[in-house]
Amino acid sequence: MPEAMLKFVSVAQQYPAKRKAEARARDFDEIYQEYARAKAGEQASRCSQCGVPFCQIHCPLHNNIPDWLLMTSEGRLEEAYELSSATNNMPEICGRICPQDRLCEGNCVIEKGFESVTIGSIERFITDTAFAQGWVKPPRPRQEREQSVGIVGAGPAGLAAAEELRRHGYQVHVYDRYDRVGGLLVYGIPNFKLEKQIVQRRAKLLSDGGVTFHLDCEVGRDVTLADLRARHAAVLIATGVYKSRDIAIPGAGLGNIIQAMTYLTASNRIGLGDRVPEFESGALNAEGKRIVVLGGGDTAMDCVRTAIRQGAKSVKCLYRRDRKNMPGSMREVSHAEEEGVAFTWLVAPEAYTGDTIVKGVRAVRMRLGAPDATGRQTPEEVPNSAHVVKADLVIKALGFDPEDLPVQFAQADLKVTGWGTAAIDFRSKMTNLDGVFAAGDIVRGASLVVWAVRDGRDAAESMHRYIQAKAAAEAKPLAQAS
């Protein structure tokens, strides 16, 4: 066992310094400061270098976490970066936004009395240091290939696939409906979790490496899927899922009831310097208002924390289960509570109240009953418990579904699942259309960025095998004829 490790018995867990809640609630800057080099090494040395690294097993990318922790503890940061980036196309992003408390850190084998290694913060430190030192380079293929590939969607799955395919030497073209590269990373996640310059830096790296981005280009409007299939040797659908779920309750047509993505996109555009008339008019601005957010996932946490920073009069989050059963990160819930968000557990909306604009949410109290097929306890309404929660603006963060892909892409024969996601062969990652692959949320439904990166990497390898097999098959008759 290396001398530098196993210090969890003598060194306490310590995250990077977190800015005080009163200060951070007034701006959109990231809430954590950077580790100092010595402190990162000290925290990395707490790793036990266990024989079965559950942190690695429970990471969707199966990052070589114990190895780069060892290298960090020994000051071998460039090697740590090379190892970290070998399995992850955007470790500086995952280090910031992954729910480590549910993944790697949550499965650390160190006894809970000693607390887990701060894996995410160290991952972020390694790659931020690598960028500062100039160790991060654009993807450079060993050989250029004549075949081109098309990727629909410049979110995490699309970007991960683009980098892997570019490393193989393909001419990579990424098509996205938005005016910036990043998708959800830019327009869905607030700056206090992920500053946009971090995403822009990664996008520039890909562009410098030869990836071509076609922005403001919507497949189905500006170009069809059939056009892309004719243009490229293979196509990847990595659009994500953006269609907001809703609930059909009385009063749904009242004003000032909005979807989470509409709200977050407006806030992010303002942060990027764009002009957003709906924000300027106050329709998408929480300032001075009583805000009620419906939902309990990470998107809901993004909404409540954004509303606090916009100067809301009050912010309440209503969720139909209890704190323990919330789908969002517990770390995010704690951040929100520190910043002044009030959580109301075991409450479900029944109707919206008001004349033309919303004045409140009529809600009923819930209790948890018998477990359902997934093992989660099913919420049950408590009789005669209806009450009104006052609201000037209601934000619905109830999850996302895919759009109608065959209609969206003008490709009626593209098969989808019963949930509307792209139907693929899970070994080849290919849809029912020859040469058309799919990855990320458009396949698995709304999920984590780290899963999108994993799916994008896997799809890229399948596309590479497909293109090479097809090229070999086409070359064989020619060789026989000669």
Q: Are residues 123 and 154 in the same domain?
A: no
Position 4 pLDDT exceeds 80: no
- Out of 399, 423, 440, pick the residue that ends a domain: 399
- Asked if the structure places residue 140 within a domain, the reply is no
In a domain, 1, yes or no: no
| pLDDT tens-digit series, residues 137-176 | 999 999 999 999 999 999 999 999 999 999 999 999 999 9
Say yes or no: 380 and 426 in one domain. Answer: no
- Averaged pLDDT, 85-114: 92
Strands 290-294 and 314-318, sheet pairing: parallel
Confidence of residue 482 (pLDDT cuts 50, 70, 90): low
Return mean pLDDT, the chain: 94
Q: Does pLDDT of 478 surpass 70?
A: no
What's residue 1's pLDDT? 54
Buried b / exposed e along 244-271 (16+ C-beta atoms within 10 A): beeeeeebeebebbbbbbebbbbbbbbb
Range 358-378 average pLDDT: 91
pLDDT at 36: 86
Domain boundary among 399, 433, 454: 399
> Mean pLDDT over residues 342-360, rounded?
97
Residue 143 lies in a domain: no
What's the structural domain count of the chain?
3
Is 121 a domain residue? yes
Q: What is the pLDDT of residue 474?
A: 84
Residue 112 falls inside a structural domain = yes
Whether residue 386 sits in one domain with residue 450: no
pTM of the model: 0.94
Asked whether residue 454 carries a pLDDT value surpassing 80, the answer given is yes
Between residues 124 and 34, the one the model is more confident about: 124
Residues 177/182/186/188 CA torsion (nearest 10 deg): 70
Question: Averaged over 86-102, what is the pLDDT?
Answer: 95
3-state SS of the chain?
CCCCCCHHHCCCCCCCCECCHHHHCCCCCCCECCCCHHHHHHHHCCCCCCCCCHHHHCCCCCCCHHHHHHHHHCCCHHHHHHHHHHHCCCHHHHHHHCCCCCCCHHHCCCCCCCCCCCHHHHHHHHHHHHHHHCCCCCCCCCCCCCCEEEEECCCHHHHHHHHHHHHCCCEEEEECCCCCCCCHHHHCCCCCCCCHHHHHHHHHHHHHCCCEEECCCCECCCECHHHHHHHCCEEEECCCCCEECCCCCCCCCCECEEEHHHHHHHHHHHHCCCCCHHHHCCCCCCCCCEEEEECCCHHHHHHHHHHHHCCCCEEEEECCCCHHHCCCCHHHHHHHHHCCCEEECCEEEEEEEECCEEEEEEEEEEEEEEECCCCCEEEEECCCCCEEEECCEEEECCCEECCCHHHHCCCCCCCECCCCCECCCCCCCECCCCCEEECCHHHHCCCCHHHHHHHHHHHHHHHHHHHHHHHHHHHHHHHHHC
Q: Are residues 373 and 439 in the same domain?
A: no
The pLDDT value recorded for residue 480 is 62
Lowest mean pLDDT among 4-18, 324-338, 414-428: 4-18
Are 278 and 304 contained in the same domain? yes
Same domain, residue pair 441 and 394: no
116-131 average pLDDT score? 96
> Which residue did the predictor score with more confidence, 236 or 482?
236
Tell me: pLDDT of 479 over 70.
Answer: no
User: 30-34, 360-364, 442-446: lowest mean pLDDT where?
Assistant: 30-34
- On whether both 287 and 207 belong to a single domain, the answer is no
Return the sign of the alpha-carbon dihedral for residues 409, 412, 416, 422: negative
CATH of the domain at 104: 1.10.1060.10
Mean pLDDT of 257-285: 96
- Which residue range forms the structural domain that includes residue 232? 148-241+402-481
- pLDDT, tens digit, for every residue of 204-246? 999 999 999 999 999 999 999 999 999 999 999 999 999 999 9
| Residue where a domain terminates, one of 376, 399, 422 | 399
Alpha-carbon span 462 to 271, nearest angstrom = 38
In a domain, 141, yes or no: no
pLDDT at 3: 62
pLDDT at 318 over 80: yes
* pLDDT over threshold 90, residue 481: no
Confidence of residue 348 (pLDDT cuts 50, 70, 90): very high
406 & 395 share domain: no
- The predicted structure's pLDDT at residue 375: 81
Residue 353 included in any domain: yes
The percentage of the chain sitting over the pLDDT mark of 70, rounded to a whole number, equals 98
Tell whether 192 and 283 lie within a shared domain. Answer: no
Q: Is the pLDDT of residue 254 over 80?
A: yes
What pLDDT score does 355 carry? 96
Residues 123 and 89 in one domain: yes
Sign of the alpha-carbon torsion through 422, 425, 426, 428: negative
For residue 51, tell me if it sits in a domain.
Answer: yes
The confidence score (pLDDT) of residue 130 equals 97
- What CATH number should be reported for the domain holding residue 303? 3.50.50.60
Same domain, 395 and 268: yes
Query: Do residues 229 and 340 share a domain?
Result: no
Looking at residue 2, its pLDDT comes to 60
